[in-house]
């Protein structure tokens, strides 16, 4: 890149493993990822009067309303609003980044047909944008936690690890499903329905102990169960998540990304062929 | 251009191996679409198992062999849908051919989709960074060329205004200024650019001539036979994804006009 005197040679007959090539390309285009994330964060509120302040006001308002509504239902749970919101921002991140990735690959492939760029750029930047939004929504949440007398302590320092593993899983799943969705656009619609069902199968709104002992075993098959716990423990309980949760979560996250990345990059040559 | 590295030592072609910048070997681009519209994965799976999926194939490029030498202006002519733009897409790496080999030496600068990815809500300056990054340039690279881009685009104070407030001429000027801010080794052009007013057109033509003086290679797709005869060193006539003739502009144009 840039003004280097080295002659660039591209030979379609001498390409290595698609997954590795894609990794190298996306690293070369890292400034593009930054530009995409910046564009998505900046333009979202650009025409409103309060501008960037909305990134704080909007989640705060939503949090207040949702916690008021559900507090009536689950009034036995101590500090319920924080229990709910710590799970909800995790879920929102997950559903928004995966949906954005799928949407951009299915409907936003226009750029891919115009100029060369690594196809994972869309998924990676959607995840980056999600991380920015998640970080921003942590601020009002922590304020609410303080108001609700939830003790905030040093376990919060673990949050970046939780967020990173959550992002790894979301990116991997987004890549997997968007590969399918490029070939079968119906998958994109099906995924929206699946997301709704998946959300209610995950203990986000209700506490895990409202379901019977036998049912609770099923939670361990739900990947999001681990990431929600990892986000919730430091915020709501003021503790580090159990080691077993971290380990299982890390294995799920990393293997999903590796599988998703390999499948996506092996199919990415065909994306530009799709109408 | 005398770097006899041996990336193509095992190549099947006989020509001198250092004097070319683009090589297409048996390149085919095949679009495959199911003959009937299959709407869901389930339907596809059932039919696939029953072997009832029939594909309609469309060869956008059919066994193209082509070599382009450094410094050449290489013209591509042909009717609409013949595959001219597909060749440019293959050279610019947008499309990976279904078959065959693409070999390219040097930085490819596509002057095809000027201002691709421009966002209307971002300012001109912000869009320079976005568009520059889309073309594969680093932030630092763009920063270094910023003054040149601003001067060339002649947008004055508008550069801090959102692009949605621009006229189409202004957007075009900005797109061209960014796309041409780096000296390319291979320039891809789809029709001679007609961006902006007459003064800007003269200026952009001058810039293209400057690139040529640096020995840049140009691949030009056009419908204007006059341009072909005036500018090109060699021309290929493409018909239905195949090369009909490659040769001197006069002869090829004559044959093409005869049909």
**Local confidence band at B119 (pLDDT 50, 70, 90 cut-offs):** very high
Q: Is the pLDDT of residue B3 over 50?
A: no
Do the domain assignments include residue A78?
Answer: yes
Give dist(CA A74, CA A60) in Å, integer.
20
pLDDT the model gives residue A145: 87
Helix (H, G, I), strand (E, B), or coil: what is residue A9? strand
Do the domain assignments include residue A260?
Answer: yes
Helix (H, G, I), strand (E, B), or coil: what is residue B68? strand
Do the domain assignments include residue A8?
Answer: no
Please indicate if any CB of chain A lies within 8 Å of the CB of B134: yes
Q: B74-87 pLDDT, tens per residue?
A: 999 999 989 999 99
Do the domain assignments include residue B168?
Answer: no
Do the domain assignments include residue B177?
Answer: no
Question: What is the average pLDDT across B232-247?
Answer: 94
| A201/chain B closest Cα distance in angstroms | 25
Residue B153 token pair: 């685009």
Give dist(CA B39, CA A234) in Å, integer.
45
Please indicate if any CB of chain A lies within 8 Å of the CB of B82: no
Asked whether this complex has an ipTM greater than 0.90, the answer is no
Where is pLDDT greater, at A82 or B57?
A82
CB contact under 8 A, B137 and A31: yes
CB contact under 8 A, B3 and A186: no
| B95/chain A closest Cα distance in angstroms | 6
CB contact under 8 A, A11 and B7: yes
Number of domains in chain B: 1
Where is pLDDT greater, at A152 or B242?
B242
Q: Is the pLDDT of residue B140 over 50?
A: yes
**Local confidence band at B36 (pLDDT 50, 70, 90 cut-offs):** low
pLDDT the model gives residue B39: 64
Pairs of CB atoms within 8 A across A/B: 111
Residues 10-69 (B) with a CB less than 8 A from some CB of A: 31-33, 39-41, 44
Task: Name A77's Cβ contacts closer than 8 Å, sequence gap at least 6.
Answer: A83, A207
Among residues of chain B, what percentage have pLDDT more than 70?
85
CB contact under 8 A, A11 and B95: no
CB contact under 8 A, A115 and B116: yes
CATH number of the domain to which B79 belongs = 3.40.50.300
pLDDT the model gives residue A7: 76
| A177/chain B closest Cα distance in angstroms | 13
Write out the residues of chain A at the interface with chain B, using a CB-CB cutoff of 8 A.
Answer: 1-3, 7-14, 28-29, 31-32, 34-36, 38-39, 42-43, 46-47, 111-117, 180, 184, 186-187, 269, 272-273, 275
pLDDT the model gives residue B5: 44
pLDDT the model gives residue A177: 96
- A76 burial (CB, 10 Å; 0-12 / 13-18 / 19+) is exposed
Chain B CA closest to residue A122 = B134
The β-bridge relationship of strands B99-105 and B73-77 is unpaired
Q: What is the DSSP string of A92-146?
A: HHHHHHHHHHHHHHHH-TTGGGTS---THHHHHHHHHHHHHHHHHHHHHHHHHHH
Q: Is the pLDDT of residue B122 over 60?
A: yes
Residues B144/B109, Cβ–Cβ less than 8 Å: no
| A103/chain B closest Cα distance in angstroms | 16
Bridge partners of residue B66, in order along the sequence = B24
Strand segments, DSSP code E, in A108-259 are none
CB contact under 8 A, A114 and B113: yes
Do the domain assignments include residue B8?
Answer: no
Select the residue from A11, A44, A45, A121 to test the B interface by mutation, using most B Cβ atoms within 10 A: A11
Do the domain assignments include residue A31?
Answer: yes
Residue A49, domain extent: 15-271
pLDDT the model gives residue A172: 98
| B162/chain A closest Cα distance in angstroms | 10
**Among candidates A136, A88, A128, which has minimal Cα distance to A104?**
A128
Lowest mean pLDDT among A167-171, B95-99, B189-193, B253-257: B189-193
For chain A (275 residues), the mean pLDDT of every run of 10, in chain order, is 62 88 94 95 78 72 79 78 89 95 84 89 96 90 84 92 98 96 89 95 88 85 96 93 96 98 93 74
Give dist(CA A84, CA A210) in Å, integer.
14
Number of domains in chain A: 1
pLDDT the model gives residue B38: 62
Do the domain assignments include residue B202?
Answer: no
Do the domain assignments include residue A70?
Answer: yes
Please indicate if any CB of chain A lies within 8 Å of the CB of B121: yes
pLDDT the model gives residue A1: 41
CB contact under 8 A, A115 and B113: yes
pLDDT the model gives residue A165: 98
Do the domain assignments include residue B49?
Answer: yes
Where is pLDDT greater, at A205 or B2?
A205
Residue A36 token pair: 């995409």
Where is pLDDT greater, at B198 or B253?
B253
Do the domain assignments include residue A190?
Answer: yes
| A209/chain B closest Cα distance in angstroms | 37
Question: What is the average pLDDT across B215-244?
Answer: 92
Do the domain assignments include residue A6?
Answer: no
Q: Is the pLDDT of residue B24 over 80?
A: yes
Do the domain assignments include residue B86?
Answer: yes
The β-bridge relationship of strands B186-190 and B108-111 is parallel
Residue B237, domain extent: 22-107+221-258
CB contact under 8 A, B92 and A116: yes
Buried b (16+ CB within 10 A) or exposed e, A187-205: bbebbeeeeeebbeebbbb
Give dist(CA B73, CA B219) in Å, integer.
6
Lowest mean pLDDT among A130-134, A212-216, B65-69, B248-252: A212-216
Please indicate if any CB of chain A lies within 8 Å of the CB of B2: no
The β-bridge relationship of strands B99-105 and A9-11 is antiparallel
Instruction: Report CA-CA distances (Å) from B152 to A256, B159, B200.
Output: 47, 12, 9
Q: What does the mean pLDDT of chain B come to?
A: 86
Is the pTM higher than 0.90? The answer reads no
Instruction: Report CA-CA distances (Å) from B56 to A8, B34, B251.
Output: 37, 6, 36
């Amino acid at each position: 890149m840039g003004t280097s005197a080295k002659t660039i040679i591209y030979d379609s007959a001498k390409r290595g493993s698609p997954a590795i090539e894609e990794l190298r390309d996306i690293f070369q285009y890292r400034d593009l990822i930054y530009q995409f994330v910046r564009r998505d964060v900046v333009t979202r509120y650009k025409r409103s009067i309060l501008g960037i302040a909305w990134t704080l006001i909007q989640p705060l308002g939503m949090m207040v309303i949702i916690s008021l509504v559900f507090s009536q239902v689950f009034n036995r749970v101590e500090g319920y609003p924080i229990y709910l919101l710590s799970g909800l921002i995790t879920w929102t991140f997950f559903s928004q980044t995966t949906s954005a990735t799928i949407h951009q690959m299915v409907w936003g492939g226009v750029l891919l047909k115009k100029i060369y760029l690594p196809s994972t750029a869309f998924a990676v930047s959607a995840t980056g944008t999600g991380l920015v939004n998640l970080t921003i929504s942590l601020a009002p949440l922590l304020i609410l936690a303080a108001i609700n007398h939830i003790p905030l302590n040093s376990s919060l320092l673990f949050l970046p690890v939780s967020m990173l593993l959550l992002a790894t899983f979301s990116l991997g799943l987004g890549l997997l499903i968007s590969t399918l969705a490029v070939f079968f656009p119906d998958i994109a619609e099906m995924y929206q329905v699946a997301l709704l069902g998946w959300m209610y199968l995950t203990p986000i709104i209700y506490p895990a102990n409202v379901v019977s002992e036998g049912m609770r075993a099923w939670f361990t098959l739900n990947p999001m169960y681990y990431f929600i716990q990892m986000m919730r423990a430091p915020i709501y309980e003021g503790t580090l998540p159990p080691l077993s949760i971290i380990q299982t979560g890390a294995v799920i996250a990393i293997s999903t990304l590796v599988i998703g990345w390999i499948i996506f990059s092996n199919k990415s040559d065909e994306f530009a062929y799709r109408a | 251009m005398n770097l006899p590295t041996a990336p193509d030592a095992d190549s099947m072609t006989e020509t001198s191996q250092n004097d070319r910048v683009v090589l297409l070997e048996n390149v085919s681009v095949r679009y495959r679409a199911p003959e009937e519209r299959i709407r869901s994965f389930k339907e596809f799976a059932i039919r696939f198992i029953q072997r009832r999926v029939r594909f309609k194939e469309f060869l956008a490029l059919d066994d193209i062999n082509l070599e382009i030498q450094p410094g050449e202006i290489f013209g591509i002519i042909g009717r609409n849908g013949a595959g001219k733009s597909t060749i440019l897409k293959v050279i610019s790496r947008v499309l990976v051919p279904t078959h065959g080999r693409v070999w390219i030496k040097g930085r490819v600068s596509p002057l095809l989709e000027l201002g691709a990815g421009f966002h209307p809500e971002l300012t001109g300056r912000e869009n320079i960074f976005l568009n520059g990054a889309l073309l594969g340039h680093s932030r630092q690279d763009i920063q270094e060329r910023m003054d040149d881009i601003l001067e060339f685009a002649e947008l004055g104070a508008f550069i801090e205004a959102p692009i949605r407030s621009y006229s189409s001429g202004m957007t075009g000027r900005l797109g061209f200024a960014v796309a041409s801010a780096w000296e390319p080794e291979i320039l891809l052009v789809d029709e001679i650019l007609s961006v902006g007013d007459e003064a800007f057109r003269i200026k952009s033509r001058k810039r293209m001539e400057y690139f040529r003086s640096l020995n840049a290679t140009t691949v030009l797709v056009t419908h204007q036979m006059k341009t072909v005869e005036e500018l090109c060193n060699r021309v290929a006539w493409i018909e239905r994804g195949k090369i009909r003739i490659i040769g001197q502009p006069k002869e090829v144009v004559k044959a093409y006009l005869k049909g």
